Amino acid sequence: MDSYWKKRDSGITIRIIICLGILSLLYIVFITVLAYLGLGFFPIMIISAIFILSQWFFSDRLVMWSTGAKLVTKEQFGKLHSIVEKVAFANNLPKPKIAIVNSQIPNAFATGKSHRNSVVAVTSGLLDILDDDELEGVLAHEITHIKNRDVLVITLASLFSTLAWQIMQFSFFGGLYGAGRDRNNGGAIIIVVVVAFITWIASFLIIRAISRYREYSADRGAAQTTQKPASLANALLKITGRMDMVPQKVIKRVEGYNAFFIIPAISRGSLTSLFSTHPPVESRIQKLMDMEKSMHGI
């Protein structure tokens, strides 16, 4: 364990490359389906360009908008900005933008397309329960996600998953509504539904393939940055304990964004728990405490 927290994490890089390759394959499938449905070369190129550019420019904005995250200035949250600035400097990164989510759910996430275009968001509920060292650990965890560039993969895969799900619903119910009037479109609708389903499954698997590993990697990165793994472990314990006190209807509203959160918000009886995007918090805390012992010779 003594060398575990010191060495560079190459595993996250390999997983990111594989996941980006799968996402690229999904683009090719998308274009192939458009061609099969009879669209010409130029319409396909225009649609593909619009789709790719929209995904690139608006994917992180969509996450911000849907979670209700609002950018805040240093004048509004001076201590928060100072900690982020300190952690970003320690990782040789530009300072990310900072956002607050007005929610009693204690959580944090990062989003963005690059080191220079990234946002770290925390909820008001998180600020209420953590001390400065614990908050620094959580922010270092999120900034490690930015440093590793795994935020981009999760953002793109999540957008793919959301779009595919919406296409499936629209095509299925639209097909049922119009089936009696135009049976010539039945074959095309089936193809769209099948491809959308495959895309949704692929996106789902991509998110699960990288999510659990990236949380361990971000925990380790936070420990390397702050030299206080026990503080992050304490933060995880506090977040988990407070999560049980949040009303179930509040948790249900944010379950779709669990892949981004430092601790997933899972309602009781939810199928989400069967396909968790995160490793068990007990395992994460144990690894952090092992790092604490290794670092400080306990």
Return the active site residues.
142
**Pair 153, 206: CB distance under 8 Å:** yes
Task: In whole angstroms, give the CA distance from residue 168 to residue 163.
Answer: 9
Distant-in-sequence, close-in-space partners of 189: CB < 8 Å, separation ≥ 6? 171, 174, 175
Distance CA 210, CA 219 (A): 14
Rounded to 5°, angle at Cα 50 from 49 and 54: 115
The residue behind tokens 């249900």 is: 252
CA 265 to CA 209: how far, in whole Å?
19
Torsion sign, CA atoms 11, 232, 207, 89: negative
